[in-house]
Structure 1
Amino acid sequence: MKLYWGPHTCAIGIHILLEEIGRAYETEKIDVQGGATEETWFKAINPKGKVPTLIADDGRVLTEFGAIAVWLARQAPDLGLMPTDPDEEQRALSLTDYVTGTIHGQAYGRIFMPARFEPQDPVHQTIGLGQASVKKQGETMLAEAFAIIADQLAGRDWAAGDRFGVADAALFYVERWASETNVPLPPALDAHLRQIKKRPVVARVMAIWGEQ
């Protein structure tokens, strides 16, 4: 398997899951912020132009965080990265979708890339709805989402099931990004983040990424 990743991306969660399952893999670091995912060579691999992108051993190209994460979990079912209990499985999938779609795509999207969400029509520009307002909207969305998840984590060590899994890998990357915003992590999420960082697998991946 081969993982394409770039600094400051959600691909770190997939990298952690690769380490967890213990199968042979390689990685290629690319300059995502510099536009590498839009280059012809990468678009030939993944026309969506995004990471994580995982090449399976048979050459298939796997895309989208949630889909890749579940696929990896099923490569090593004995590890319990995806709960077998139907209710806990639903919890894991629901949380992972919420992280990738709402927290990452909508809230952080507005915070980190406000220009993409800024209305371009003259009416909105006249009333002053600029990038600062878009970023503020993202921060409000993020705070609300964090509060929801904090309630869901109450009394739990892990996001779903009784051990680290797919949903925790997803939560991990958005919890880390909070340090770059004006939105503080609720105590439950901060404790969850610190617990994940203690895992040797996570420490190995963060060392590769040059982060802490």
Structure 2
Amino acid sequence: MYKLYVRPGACSKAINVLLRDLDQKVEVIDARNLEGFKSISPTGAVPAMIDEQGNVFVEGVAIILHLLEKHNSAMLPKELLKKTDFIRWLTFANATMHPAYSRLFFLNSVVKDEAEKANTMKAAAAKVSEYWQIVEDKLNKQRYMGGDQINIVDVWLAVYAGWNAYFPVEVTIGPKAKAMIADVQAMPSFKAATESEKF
């Protein structure tokens, strides 16, 4: 059984969903205020995972690639160009979209002046919307980020989309991306992961 350290609704939820899609047993642990968590994840960030042999894994992309390869998932393409494209979108989600949302969280919590907050958050939301347009453009050619089947990139993006409710500014998501998100949210594994994080 895997031990997965999460914060409810955080990006670690994507790993929670993935483990279920891979038919793996998982113990979901709330990392909030967990004493000694930095001995597992030195940055204090989630996700963090421990496997049956006691190996510790941190950083979302590394965990995802490890799990897909270990469990021989068809989600990870064998052909080099397709694998590179998959990793490209995986890193887009992790290294482009996630930091853009992190800026919104930062501004929302740190900027106290309401006029300044409105202006800076509007600009930050526009950048997130710009990234969602890149997703929309991709989905104009195919139903999901990897083709005709939902993959972990779709799941990760759907988790991020749920964060829009936390902000007093609008993030624009196109109709194709909204349809993809709805399909992900309807997955039994996504619903089970959501339920498991109600600590």
Q: Same fold (TM over 0.5)?
A: yes
Residues 109-128 of structure 1: pairs in structure 2 closer than 5 A: 109-114=102-107
Shift of residue 131, structure 1, vs aligned partner: 4.4
Letter in 1 for 2:60: F
> What residue in structure 1 maps to residue 61 of structure 2?
66
SS of the residue aligned with 1:81?
A: coil
* 2:89 corresponds to 1:103: no
For the aligned residue pairs, the C-alpha RMSD in angstroms reads: 2.4
Shift of residue 28, structure 1, vs aligned partner: 0.6
Shift of residue 70, structure 1, vs aligned partner: 1.2
> What residue in structure 1 maps to residue 6 of structure 2?
5
Letter in 1 for 2:6: W
Say whether the 8 Å CA contact 2:158–2:184 is kept in structure 1. yes
> What residue in structure 1 maps to residue 47 of structure 2?
52
* 1:173 corresponds to which of 126, 145, 159: 159
The 10-residue stretch of structure 1 (48-57 or 172-181) with the greater mean CA deviation from structure 2: 172-181
When residues 190 and 139 of structure 1 are mapped into structure 2, their CA distance, relative to the original with a 3 A threshold, is same
Letter in 2 for 1:173: V
Say whether the 8 Å CA contact 2:90–2:153 is kept in structure 1. yes
Q: Which runs of 5+ in 2 are unaligned?
A: none
Q: State the Cα deviation string for residues 18-71 of structure 1 (Å, max 9, x = none).
A: 10111222111132xxxx2xx651111111110010112221211111111111
* 2:131 corresponds to 1:136: no
Distance in 1, matches of 2:180 and 2:165, equals 14
Q: Percent sequence identity over matched residues?
A: 23
Shift of residue 130, structure 1, vs aligned partner: 4.7
| Count of residue pairs the alignment pairs up | 194
Say whether the 8 Å CA contact 2:28–2:197 is kept in structure 1. no
Say whether the 8 Å CA contact 2:31–2:37 is kept in structure 1. no
Shift of residue 117, structure 1, vs aligned partner: 8.6
Say whether the 8 Å CA contact 2:104–2:125 is kept in structure 1. yes
